[in-house]
């Protein structure tokens, strides 16, 4: 197995084909409401914005993905609710919006009271961290469709129109502040599971880099919720924001057509080192699939970068250049 380089696409998730599907799906979505509720952004940014007077309302929807299969294997479901909320909230933060409410969607094969209580525990904790209310949701019993369960949700946020951050202000020479990730978060788990299936390890084995925990528990560490970004926005002249999720650093193309030079990247978490070694995954594939230790990016003038880094527990990882995406000597995009 170590002779073969495992990839996300060969594991079942082809990012390029996914982009083609998204374009086909959204091609005919050309109707636009006018007046109150009219869209302020096109489809494709981290969150959608609609006109609400002096404010814009922000909407994002996402789920936990195949990470739930590891929760099933470990029979521990009290963290995936945090993931569900985090994936939505972080997308709102990436456009400058404050989360205010959330609705969840839980699809089940069958009902189990103890399982449901653990899902609710995670959702409650995620909402508390995000300082927002869960105002409703939907539970669907779908034994003919669902094997186990699926958890997703939709988040509503708000931002004053003059404070919307889409990346338009990003300019050459701006500093890039990277904020650490707590874990793999909630992306790339199809590749994670492929690596584990072909590994000699099981999810219940001790994690080689920290034998006080198991590999499964390490992989279930929930997604960090980056609420401190709102404080940075209030105190600094933020030009751009990015939530590093599926497709890794390639997501930065959403923010600006300028380039990114990560000359001093954050050291990847030990779990990434383990996965890369076990799956014989090359560096390009790792940075194309995972957050690699950096879950959020703030772009702002050089003279404010140290302040932003101090406020978030991050560090200056690079600068804005004319084109491309580069991590140390690894060229992601020319």
Domain boundary at 163, 188, 207, which? 163
| Domain assignment present for 271 | yes
157, 185: one domain: no
| Domain assignment present for 19 | no
Q: What percent of the chain has pLDDT over 70?
A: 99
CATH of the domain at 83: 3.30.1330.10
- pLDDT number for residue 1: 47
Place 45 in a pLDDT band, splitting at 50, 70 and 90.
confident
Residue carrying structure tokens 């959608």: 48
Provide mean pLDDT across the span 77-104.
98
| Domain assignment present for 1 | no
Provide mean pLDDT across the span 243-262.
90
CATH of the domain at 216: 3.90.650.10
150, 269: one domain: no
Place 3 in a pLDDT band, splitting at 50, 70 and 90.
low
Place 79 in a pLDDT band, splitting at 50, 70 and 90.
very high
* Per-residue pLDDT tens over the stretch 134-156: 999 999 999 999 999 999 999 99
Nearest C-alpha neighbor of 275 from the set 197, 211, 331: 197
Burial profile 69-80: b = 16 or more Cβ within 10 angstroms, e = fewer: bbbebbeebbbb
How far the first Cα of the chain sits from its last, in Å, is 31
Task: Report whether pLDDT(131) > 80.
Answer: yes
Task: Report whether pLDDT(11) > 90.
Answer: no
| Domain assignment present for 75 | yes
Which has the minimum average pLDDT: 8-12, 38-42, 139-143? 8-12
221, 197: one domain: yes
198, 256: one domain: yes
159, 179: one domain: no
Work out the mean pLDDT of the chain and round it to a whole number.
Answer: 94
Domain boundary at 163, 187, 221, which? 163
* Containing structural domain, residue 194: 174-333
156, 188: one domain: no
CA dihedral 326, 63, 131, 116 (to 10 degrees): -140
Cβ(188)–Cβ(334) below 8 Å? no
| Domain assignment present for 15 | no
192, 104: one domain: no
Q: What percent of the chain has pLDDT over 90?
A: 84
- pLDDT number for residue 246: 78
Measured CA to CA, the distance from residue 300 to residue 177 in angstroms comes to: 8
Nearest C-alpha neighbor of 244 from the set 266, 215, 218: 266
- Reported in sequence order, the residue ranges of 244-292 that DSSP labels E, i.e. its strands, are 259-262
Place 64 in a pLDDT band, splitting at 50, 70 and 90.
very high
Provide mean pLDDT across the span 270-276.
97
Domain boundary at 142, 163, 184, which? 163
Burial profile 238-271: b = 16 or more Cβ within 10 angstroms, e = fewer: bbbbbbbbbbbbbbbebbbebbbbbeebbebbeb
Number of domains in the chain: 2
Query: What kind and span of H or E run contains 88?
Result: helix 80-93
Task: Report whether pLDDT(238) > 60.
Answer: yes
Cβ(96)–Cβ(241) below 8 Å? yes
CA 322 vs CA 248, 258, 334: distances in Å: 20, 5, 11
Place 2 in a pLDDT band, splitting at 50, 70 and 90.
low
- pLDDT number for residue 17: 78
């Amino acid at each position: 197995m170590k002779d073969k380089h495992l990839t996300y696409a060969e594991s079942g998730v082809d990012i390029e084909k996914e982009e083609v599907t998204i374009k086909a799906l959204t091609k005919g979505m050309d109707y636009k409401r006018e007046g109150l509720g009219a869209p302020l952004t096109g489809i494709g940014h981290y969150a959608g914005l609609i006109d609400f007077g002096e404010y814009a309302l922000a909407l994002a929807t996402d789920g936990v993905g195949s990470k739930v299969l590891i929760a099933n294997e470990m029979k521990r479901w009290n963290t995936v609710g945090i993931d569900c909320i985090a994936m939505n909230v972080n997308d709102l933060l990436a456009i400058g919006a404050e989360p205010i409410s959330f609705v969840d969607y839980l699809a089940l094969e069958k009902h189990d009271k103890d399982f449901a209580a653990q899902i609710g525990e995670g959702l409650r904790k995620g909402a508390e961290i995000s300082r927002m209310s869960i105002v409703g949701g939907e539970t669907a019993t779908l034994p003919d469709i669902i094997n186990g369960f699926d958890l997703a949700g939709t988040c509503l946020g708000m931002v004053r129109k003059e404070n919307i951050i889409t990346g338009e202000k990003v300019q050459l020479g701006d500093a890039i502040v990277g904020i650490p990730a707590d874990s793999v978060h909630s992306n790339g788990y199809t590749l994670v599971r492929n690596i584990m299936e072909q590994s000699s390890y099981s999810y219940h084995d001790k994690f080689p880099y920290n034998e006080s925990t198991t590999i499964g528990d390490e992989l279930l560490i929930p997604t960090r919720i980056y609420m401190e970004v709102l404080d940075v926005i209030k105190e600094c002249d933020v030009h751009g924001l990015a939530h590093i999720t599926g497709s890794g650093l390639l997501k930065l193309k959403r923010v600006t057509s300028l380039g990114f030079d990560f000359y001093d990247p954050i050291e990847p978490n030990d779990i990434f080192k383990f996965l890369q070694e076990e799956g014989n995954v090359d560096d390009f594939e790792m940075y194309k699939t995972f957050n690699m230790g950096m879950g959020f990016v703030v772009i702002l003038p050089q003279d404010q970068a140290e302040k932003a880094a101090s406020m978030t527990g991050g560090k200056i990882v690079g600068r804005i250049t004319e084109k491309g995406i580069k991590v140390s000597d690894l060229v992601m995009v020319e």
